[in-house]
Structure 1
């Protein structure tokens, strides 16, 4: 007889540092009413760099996060973010640490410490929850607040509210931020980006939107990446104003009836997305991406990295109570002209257990890695994700998960949720690509 195991409370946001899902476009994440609403977006400016400046008393110093040093002092790794002082010298995210320190010889480089940033992020959220009931942690350094209780307030009242919030964050945590306020989440997020650092931007009415938002390029909007923007440019659409002028039928033609209309509503500032609290439904898709500190030609070590990604992916799926049977894997290579090999794979049925997904993935990944290595490529990173999620919990006719295996993972989750992730893990998790900028779970 199987004994039910209570796995405890899952932290599905821990170690997730890059949001890749469009959480405003899903139908079940929007308000059903068309009533005007008011949102506030908080962007903690250069958050990782700020935290490091605070911890080491390096205010005013050009600093970057993400690198490490060889024994001879040579900088290695990639710039994850940098302070505004460093950016003034041309240091940019994604730049090699070696190149960054050539640009600015007295640049300070520190390794990323996501546990530290997560701790500061929790403190930020505690401050914000003193200002409103509904606070969404969009990422470690971005938050949305539902301030609909101020939707009829004057501009002066909104400015005072934003100033008080900003000063409270500085007084309590010595951190600075930018704030955007608007009638949609999309416009609030765009607004917070306009006056960095420490700025407050309020899109109060149509005149504000015409002056501040409409001139922005369309690829500033959620869901419009490089490929979609290229399609829109071919149609003569460059700015948000261009999109508004042409109307939603063009977007439906390019991106489908439903998604095209949603994208247009975001462009027009008419999206009705809810501020998602901890109890909010899961995102449409889940994925994991990790770039190694250095390249490798050892396929066994890459398998260890894939296992790490699958563990986080499955943990989050179990936390959200969802499963999947269609996935993708991405093998990134060290090459200037070609990014790598991306493929799809299926499990025998819907599951969120590591073993099923790992076996299905490696069946295709091993021969693909062998071909890449045989052709002289080195491997630089891995990516994994779901192609669709199932929330129905319906039993399948030709597949059922092994009950003992499910009990094992629930017991593992229970211990890790109680004592910290990584308390219990498979031995294969210790096998991976060496490097000083690798962290166990990243998304």
Structure 2
């Protein structure tokens, strides 16, 4: 086979159109400072960011609102999932991931708005401009969360550090008109935990181990990034519920449960011993990627549902290539329209580590097709799909028994180059044309 020409795919935008309120990830070893000396971090959280922005834009201050829903049909039936809500709505029992219909049953006068991501990106850019004047190193963790490296204040007094945080919080409000919460601590993980302690419009300092024990020690372990529901359940079985309990037991139990490498990192985050870098222009590391999508209308058409799965895999693979990641184990989720039964999920493997659409789609449909058929034959309608990785490979080393087809990789890179130049989905696979009908994405729903 003749040598294929080199393709420059251009600049990826792997988080474009990604619904990301908070992106929990672990602090990997290569993203930490080699020095063990203590540092000082500031974490800024824009409280209920999307809801705050909409309250300001539409003069809805003091009113309960939620973001993520839309209204269908002449009767205006609420559809969608609550992505976030204002504090007024939360006080009434509205929670993230609740269905819009349930939210409006709890509070009939609540205001539901569809997310306007371009608006939020614009406001987020204004916040970045303010932060860039406050510290030389700033990390945009998500549209509503930021880290600052404020190591230059490490040897200053507590009063000076507190004044710095108050000045930043006040300036954000003066310039943008939004409130935020700030946490300052000697570890990146602890600064993030601290910012959650006094919301909204709060400032919390955790500057030594005694303050950490008093303020953060009672928090449940699943408040620490990287500890999700399943990992927390494992820890609870060992009698570990809080951060203090985890610190007291030491790192061996974490290595026993989660492996020597990850277990040690997890313990360092729990105990405030991580020395993570504040990431600037580079793409921050990912340990898992996924795509979740709820249809605007339920569907019983296998071809359309299969098209949605292909769409999800294409978007997942684009993001993996953008982050230069591969995986060999994935999951797929088929969500159904049912009050009690949420759907089915399964895992599948590719022949080797890859981020190419064809390999992943081929193996996914082996499991998805029969499960979809069984659900539809049982009278269920599908309401959404999800696909994602189960662990990722950062090394990109060649494997002994698996080689990707170079023409398949070439095809994906050419497609990426066109989309990166002319806009997302300028060119797509034909199978995506079979998808669930309806205005199903972002502002198209309104």
With the length of structure 2 as denominator, give the TM-score of the two structures. 0.90
From 33, 36, 41, the equivalent of 1:34 is 36
Shift of 1:316: 1.4
CA deviation profile, 1:344-369 (whole Å, cap 9, x unmatched): 33334443222232222223211121
From 3, 6, 10, the equivalent of 1:4 is 6
- Mapped to 2, the partners of 1:42 and 1:153 lie a distance apart of 20
Shift of 1:9: 1.1
SS in 2 for 1:40: strand
Shift of 1:395: 4.5
SS in 1 for 2:264: helix
Shift of 1:308: 1.8
SS in 1 for 2:18: coil
- Which runs of 5 or more residues in structure 2 are unaligned? none
1:178 aligns with 2:201: no
Shift of 1:329: 1.9
From 144, 155, 174, the equivalent of 2:147 is 144
From 422, 435, 445, the equivalent of 1:432 is 435
SS in 2 for 1:180: strand
From 233, 246, 263, the equivalent of 2:236 is 233
Contact 1:10/1:417 (8 A) holds in 2: yes
- Mapped to 2, the partners of 1:386 and 1:40 lie a distance apart of 31
Alignment RMSD, CA only? 2.5
SS in 2 for 1:326: strand
Contact 2:80/2:294 (8 A) holds in 1: no
Shift of 1:337: 4.7
- Mapped to 2, the partners of 1:439 and 1:356 lie a distance apart of 29
- Mapped to 2, the partners of 1:371 and 1:154 lie a distance apart of 65
Report the CA distance shift for 1:43/1:431 in structure 2 as closer, same or farther (over 3 A). Answer: farther
Q: Counterparts of 1:82-101 in structure 2 under 5 Å? A: 82-101=85-104
Count of aligned pairs between the two proteins: 439
Q: Counterparts of 1:287-326 in structure 2 under 5 Å? A: 287-326=290-329
- Mapped to 2, the partners of 1:116 and 1:197 lie a distance apart of 22
- Mapped to 1, the partners of 2:354 and 2:259 lie a distance apart of 29
Report the CA distance shift for 1:301/1:118 in structure 2 as closer, same or farther (over 3 A). Answer: farther
With the length of structure 1 as denominator, give the TM-score of the two structures. 0.90
Q: Counterparts of 1:408-419 in structure 2 under 5 Å? A: 408-419=411-422
CA deviation profile, 1:31-71 (whole Å, cap 9, x unmatched): 22211111111111111111212222322222111111131
SS in 2 for 1:292: strand
SS in 2 for 1:279: coil
- Mapped to 2, the partners of 1:304 and 1:439 lie a distance apart of 19
From 212, 215, 227, the equivalent of 1:212 is 215
Report the CA distance shift for 1:78/1:388 in structure 2 as closer, same or farther (over 3 A). Answer: closer
Which piece of structure 1 moves more, 194-203 or 96-105? 96-105
Contact 2:66/2:82 (8 A) holds in 1: yes
CA deviation profile, 1:121-171 (whole Å, cap 9, x unmatched): 233223222222322222221122221222212112212221222223223
1:60 aligns with 2:62: yes
Report the CA distance shift for 1:439/1:350 in structure 2 as closer, same or farther (over 3 A). Answer: farther
Shift of 1:108: 1.4
Shift of 1:306: 1.2
| Aligned equivalent of 2:364 | 361
SS in 2 for 1:317: helix
- Mapped to 2, the partners of 1:73 and 1:337 lie a distance apart of 24
Which piece of structure 1 moves more, 274-283 or 74-83? 274-283
| Aligned equivalent of 1:104 | 107
- Which runs of 5 or more residues in structure 1 are unaligned? none
Which piece of structure 1 moves more, 45-54 or 242-251? 242-251
Q: Counterparts of 1:157-168 in structure 2 under 5 Å? A: 157-168=160-171
CA deviation profile, 1:214-255 (whole Å, cap 9, x unmatched): 121222122322333333333333322222222223333333
Contact 2:9/2:417 (8 A) holds in 1: yes
- Mapped to 2, the partners of 1:6 and 1:231 lie a distance apart of 44
Q: Counterparts of 1:268-417 in structure 2 under 5 Å? A: 268-280=271-283, 282-396=285-399, 399-417=402-420
Which piece of structure 1 moves more, 36-45 or 388-397? 388-397
- Mapped to 2, the partners of 1:75 and 1:89 lie a distance apart of 18
CA deviation profile, 1:252-271 (whole Å, cap 9, x unmatched): 33333332322222221112
